[in-house]
Structure 1
Amino acid sequence: MMRQKAVFFDVDDTMYDHLSPLRGALTGVLGLPETFAFDKAYYLFRYYSDLLSEEEGLSAVPEKAKLERMRQRRFMLSLAEMGVEVTEEQAEALQASYLRGQFEIEPFEGATELIRELDEAGVVTGLITNGPPEHQMNKIAVLGLDKLIPSERIFVSGAVGYAKPDKRLFEYVNERTGTMGGSCYYVGDSWRNDVVGSLDAGWTSIWFNHRGAKPESDHKPHHIAESYEEIRSLYMGLPG
């Protein structure tokens, strides 16, 4: 088993601004003004996505009907908290617009440059993301990440059969890449999926907290960064 350093990244809201397609859906379908609290809406949207997925018992390969119900309800519940009532039809339209917007995305500044630098330094790099394989791989292609990271180091929960925060997904990655948890670093924005998942698997967790979120449990990430410049500075000082 290799003991060299490996750095794996989440995709949604770690490689690109996940709020952008949500903002586009909310303004396009509901006509919400630019003064609307989109950051808060995004936080609630992600919160209900995780909560409802757990309530529905959604697995890495979820039942289509349950998945669609979760996607609809997360819009209705998150917006209701902000005083915006939406119908089921509007929720469906929001979901459709939101999905389309996910293919009009660009990497965060410094993201692809860091992956190239890590690769040139001999560090194993990869992606671990939750979602349906085709959908996630299409986003990865739009971001150009498929040109930087070989397919054998790109792991999508729907293809593997385990989803974050299940530590078995991280253990599967170790098995497939010949790496060890103690030498692996995981960069992700989601407290529940990325921080908790990587810590439970014995990995070193770098919380990409670029939205100023609050911890949701007693777990303690090893490092916290708010930009790719900070992540780069962290990795330069990490032990090999």
Structure 2
Amino acid sequence: MKLINVNHAVFFDVDDTLYDHLQPFREALEATLDTGPDFPYEPAYHRMRYYSDFLSVEAGGTPTHGQVLESMRTERFVRSLGEFGLTLSPEEAASVQAAYLDRQFDIRPFTGAFELIGKLQELGAIVGVITNGPPEHQWRKIRALGVDRLIPAELVFISGAVGFTKPDTRLFKLIEGKLGKSAEQCCYLGDSWRNDVVGAVGAGWRAVWFNHRGVRPETDPHLLHTPVSSYAELARLLLGESL
């Protein structure tokens, strides 16, 4: 899958794909619950992401505002941390959520992410972002990372603004139509099996699973996709060269 011409479009997820999403999660737990260095942060993070996706599906797509959004955000902490011996009241979960949000804008891109975006653009590929979430919240992350200085706003697709939530294939098809591209000309990179791999494969896109945490597929592992664990590996896959 070497992208070397103007016919290709490559889209990136944001959370835990362009930056380390575990960082604000860990810092929020340490600050509010005094969890200490031995707490299993990564497994707990995976369960939080699982419940975030699960509750989003129950709500009919990622909520963008109001009580439904707030309830989903706190409930995911109640359920996920409960599996690791932390029983939270709704008020405690809200405190964790507030601390988590505060830390989501003090973030840095993964090593090699921006270099890869630049190389793809130099080769003539269209490069954009597809992410789930409320528009204002996701835009704050995009600006905090500096992604807005690399990728134009018209190539940033946020579920809360578009009206479709990954893994809904209509989101991917809408983007195809806007770009005038076929599914075979489009590639999507993301960390979430459920949202990114299943969604992209369902739309007929090339799916690259950024499985840098070494987790197992949640559903059929035989879905046509390519796994990578680092940006160096991804650059070799997409460019045929190292950064």
TM-score over 0.5 for the alignment? yes
> What is the rounded CA distance, in whole Å, between the counterparts of 2:38 and 2:175 in structure 1?
42
Distance 1:60 1:27, change over 3 A: closer
2:17 is aligned to 14
> What is the rounded CA distance, in whole Å, between the counterparts of 1:132 and 1:124 in structure 2?
24
> What is the rounded CA distance, in whole Å, between the counterparts of 1:77 and 1:191 in structure 2?
20
Provide the aligned length of Structure 1 versus Structure 2: 236
| SS of corresponding position for 2:37 | coil
1:90 matched to 2:81? The reply is: no
2:72 is aligned to 70
1:165 matched to 2:167? The reply is: yes
Gaps of 5+ in 2: none
Structure 1 residue 63, shift from structure 2 partner: 5.7
Partner residue of 2:120 out of 111, 115, 118: 118
| SS of corresponding position for 2:187 | strand
After the TM superposition, which segments of 4 or more aligned residues of structure 1 sit over 6 Å from their partners?
none
Is the 1:206–1:221 contact (alpha carbons within 8 Å) kept by the matching residues of 2?
Answer: no
Identical-pair percentage: 51
Aligned-partner residue type, residue 198 of structure 1? A
Q: How does 1:182-201 map to 2 (within 5 A)?
A: 182-201=184-203
> What is the rounded CA distance, in whole Å, between the counterparts of 1:174 and 1:60 in structure 2?
21
2:129 is aligned to 127
Is the 1:188–1:208 contact (alpha carbons within 8 Å) kept by the matching residues of 2?
Answer: yes
1:39 is aligned to 42
Aligned-partner residue type, residue 120 of structure 1? E
Q: What CA deviation, in whole Å up to 9, does each residue of 1:121-161 have, x standing for no partner?
A: 11110000000111101100111100101111110011100
2:205 is aligned to 203
| SS of corresponding position for 1:125 | strand
Is the 1:103–1:139 contact (alpha carbons within 8 Å) kept by the matching residues of 2?
Answer: yes
Structure 1 residue 220, shift from structure 2 partner: 1.8
1:102 is aligned to 104
Is the 2:187–2:206 contact (alpha carbons within 8 Å) kept by the matching residues of 1?
Answer: yes
Aligned-partner residue type, residue 216 of structure 2? K
Structure 1 residue 60, shift from structure 2 partner: 4.5
TM-score (normalised: structure 1): 0.94
> What is the rounded CA distance, in whole Å, between the counterparts of 1:179 and 1:207 in structure 2?
21
Q: What CA deviation, in whole Å up to 9, does each residue of 1:178-201 have, x standing for no partner?
A: 222111110000000000000000
Structure 1 residue 237, shift from structure 2 partner: 4.1
Q: How does 1:136-155 map to 2 (within 5 A)?
A: 136-155=138-157
Is the 1:3–1:179 contact (alpha carbons within 8 Å) kept by the matching residues of 2?
Answer: no
Is the 2:197–2:225 contact (alpha carbons within 8 Å) kept by the matching residues of 1?
Answer: no
Structure 1 residue 68, shift from structure 2 partner: 1.2
| RMSD over equivalenced CA pairs, Å | 1.6
